[in-house]
Chains A and B, each alone.
Chain A
Amino acid sequence: MAFRIVASCTNCWACLPLCPHEAIRAATPHFEIDAVRCTECVGDYADPQCASICPVEGAIVDNTGQALNPPGSLTGLSPEFLTLPSTP
């Protein structure tokens, strides 16, 4: 039982100080969660802390690969907006 940070992470540091078990590490190319330390905040908080502040949809996933913040859940933008148009 542990979460994982994936490539879309922008290394914004928001999650790191919130983790009750200091499971998050400022790594490159993106931050990482120590699977041994992560408890998914069960017993500590009602909601997992890292996923509650993360501003990037899809950047944190559970052990089945499901995004904790699926597309559209944070920005309110439906998926068709999520591919950026090329700059003119």
Chain B
Amino acid sequence: MESTSQPTTAGVSPALHPCYSEQAHRHFARLHLAVAPACNIQCHYCNRKYDCSNESRPGVVSELLTPEQATHKALVVGAAIPHLAVVGVAGPGDPLANPERLFATFRELAEKAPDLTLCVSTNGLALPEQVEELVKYHIGHVTITINCIDPDIGARIYPWIFWNHRRIRGRKAAEILIAQQQKGLEMLVERGVLVKVNSVLIPGINDEHLHEVHRVVKAKGAFLHNIMPLIARPEHGTYYGLTGQVEPTAEQVRALQDACASEGGETGMMNHCQQCRADAVGMLGQDRGAEFTLEKVAAMQIDWQAALAKRKAIRATIERRLAMQTQFTKTKNPIPLPVRRPATITPEILRMAVGSNDGQTIDAHFGHAREFLIFDVSPTGVRLVARRGIDNNYCSGPTTCGDTTTVLAGAIEALRDCAVLLCARIGFEPWRPLEDAGIQPNSEHAMEPIVDALLAVYREWRDGGRLETEPALVRSSA
């Protein structure tokens, strides 16, 4: 993760971008501007008719904005949320299929909020022809969704594309799309733009194939590879949703991410993706969109110069704090544990989940935690291995989607490989199902520093002999 703070040849630093840096996502906010309605392809996991304000998933927005409205919204949000660092355009269609609206927005933002990092997320079809324009506006971060590099697989994901004034279908369509994506990736890397590749894991269609995709995008210099689970439910009205295409389990996604990560190389794996809506506002995993609707934003007047100065001051403070933390973790990590057993015995790893909002202490209530930090603790130290959202952060509307059983099942599924769950509080209701799933809930260490609590629990398990007697819950470090 340390390498993420290195600027690239274009002078772009991922350190401020919550999607490109795991550390940044705890401190900096992002805003998605829904200025790009048109799309030039159809994906089987997308339904352009759908909109719901309780849905949190890509391609979904409540209000389409004109470039003028979008710029004003960015300036308003940038004044109200001074730790805003990134403004992205991700839809609801494809940004590059709406070049005039996209660049009109970026042109004005570059003038009035030059501190904000601009980024786009595209399917790649129109990418090669827009690369120069993107570079001109200093777009240092581009995400390309690449689900395949084999047109036969592509034909099962994309029913059609619009290309050279015609609708092209089937294998031919996939062939063109793949060629454009790969060409776009190469051109961006050549120009020093940081490229994140998103891949949607579709069981039975591209699950095995994504290993190959990973190798290729890595060889071409992608900065990050983000493997995301397919979202396909009948109520979304998508082809996959209606035809019963299964979604991957959290375990399948993790296994693939781990396999790709183990191949090494320069390309990092993104494990903290929250699959945000195309009009999300705030920190990753959080959406404050309702505070900034078209109507509310239109009524707000802001002094953009004062807002810019405030953002710069806040950013300097956060950066100083981050620098201190990095120093701290470098000296303190890994934390050695006294080893009492003979060295010939394989040391066991105890995997534990932690509910934490501040990333330092155990301060999250189980029922309110939207993500968990997953740690492996062994005699050699404490290692953060993942950050997991609950059930893809799928629904956040407690009044309309308050099916606690489903939410709990999702949380348990996401934590299935953990032996212990540490939270500030855990209600009576989820306690038993967690235990039944082999996850020991523990709220004894509320508000304690995470590392201290993890080590205390590890010692308790070790001294109680549980590391040996409960092998199912303990992974061997071999």
Contact = CB atoms under 8 A, between A and B. Distances in A.
B234 A85 contact: yes
Contact of A12 (B37, B160, B167): B37
Majority SS at the chain B contact face: loop
A-B pairs, top 6 by smallest CB distance, nearest first, are A14-B38, A53-B162, A81-B242, A52-B167, A87-B235, A13-B37
Contacts of A84: 235, 237
Interface residues of B, number: 25
A12 B93 contact: yes
Interface string A13-35: 11001100000000000000000
Given A13-B98, A84-B237, A85-B235, A75 B165 contact: no
5 contacts: A12-B48, A13-B93, A75-B42, A81-B242, A88-B235
Interface string A23-51: 00000000000000000000001110100
A52 B48 contact: no
Nearest to B242: A81
Contacts of A13: 37-38, 93, 98
Contacts of A77: 239, 242-243
A66 interface: no
Given A52-B167, A74-B159, A88-B235, A10 B48 contact: yes
B453 interface: no
A49 B162 CA distance: 10
A88 B93 CA distance: 27
Interface in B67-114: 93, 97-98, 100
A55 B39 contact: yes
B166 interface: yes
Contact of A14 (B37, B166, B235): B37
A53 B40 contact: yes
B95 to A, nearest CB: 13
A9 to B, nearest CB: 10
A6 interface: no
B341 interface: no
Contacts of B159: 74-76
Contacts of A74: 42, 159-160
A56 interface: yes
Contacts, number: 63
Residue of A46, A56, A75 ringed by the most chain B CB atoms within 10 A: A75
Given A81-B243, A84-B235, A85-B234, A49 B38 contact: no
Contacts of A12: 37-39, 48, 93
Interface in B126-172: 159-160, 162, 165-167
Nearest to B235: A87
A7 to B, nearest CB: 12
A10 B38 CA distance: 10
B368 interface: no
Nearest to B47: A75
Interface in B286-305: none
A47 B165 contact: yes
B49 interface: yes
A13 B38 CA distance: 5
Given A12-B93, A87-B235, 14 more contacts: A10-B49, A12-B38, A12-B48, A13-B38, A14-B39, A14-B40, A14-B97, A17-B100, A53-B38, A53-B40, A74-B160, A77-B242, A77-B243, A88-B235
A52 B163 CA distance: 9
Interface in A56-88: 56, 74-77, 81, 84-85, 87-88
Given A47-B165, A52-B162, A55-B42, A14 B93 contact: yes
Nearest to A8: B49
A48 to B, nearest CB: 10
Residue of B42, B159, B167, B235 ringed by the most chain A CB atoms within 10 A: B167
Contacts of B166: 46-47, 52
B165 A46 contact: yes
Interface string B223-253: 0000000000011010100110000000000
Contacts of A18: 165
A56 B49 CA distance: 8
Interface string B25-38: 00000000000011
A55 B64 CA distance: 17
Given A12-B48, A14-B40, A53 B167 contact: yes
Contacts of A11: 37, 64
Contacts of B98: 13
Contacts of B243: 77, 81
A46 B160 CA distance: 17
B239 A47 contact: no
